[in-house]
Amino acid sequence: AQTVTQSQPEMSVQEAETVTLSCTYDTSESNYYLFWYKQPPSRQMILVIRQEAYKQQNATENRFSVNFQKAAKSFSLKISDSQLGDTAMYFCAFMEYGNKLVFGAGTILRVKS
């Protein structure tokens, strides 16, 4: 079965600095998607960024970018110029064929002023 591992239960970063959240996954599939979702205190699940496994170019969305290493099965999220509003739980997720999302346990990120 596919698994997603987020090895950092909690992280903190100073406002305006850069932070990287780690994620590794295990699969035998060659075609899949990877996602980062953000869950602020409101509990809403918000899509941050998406990566398609067959694309070599790393996805970027404004201050958010990923480092996708397919051979290493690694998918880290970099947040640049961190803002107080980035404080949230971040979930890495893997989508296998058949439309099932597998989530990691999450990383709590605290942005400090």
Partner 1 sequence: DAGVIQSPRHEVTEMGQEVTLRCKPISGHDYLFWYRQTMMRGLELLIYFNNNVPIDDSGMPEDRFSAKMPNASFSTLKIQPSEPRDSAVYFCASSLSRGQGIEETQYFGPGTRLLVL
Where does this chain bind partner 1 (CB under 8 A)? Answer: 31-33, 35, 37, 42-47, 50, 91, 95, 97, 99-101, 103, 105-106
Least distance to partner 1 from the beta carbon of 82, Å? 23
Q: Which is nearer to partner 1, 16 or 101 (CB)?
A: 101
Q: Which is nearer to partner 1, 16 or 46 (CB)?
A: 46
| Other beta carbons less than 10 A from residue 55's beta carbon | 10
Rounded to whole angstroms, the Cα distance separating 91 from 108 reads 9
CA torsion 78-48-61-97 (nearest 10°) is 100
What is the distance between the terminal CA atoms of the chain, rounded to a whole angstrom?
Answer: 41
Least distance to partner 1 from the beta carbon of 49, Å? 10
Q: Which is nearer to partner 1, 25 or 37 (CB)?
A: 37
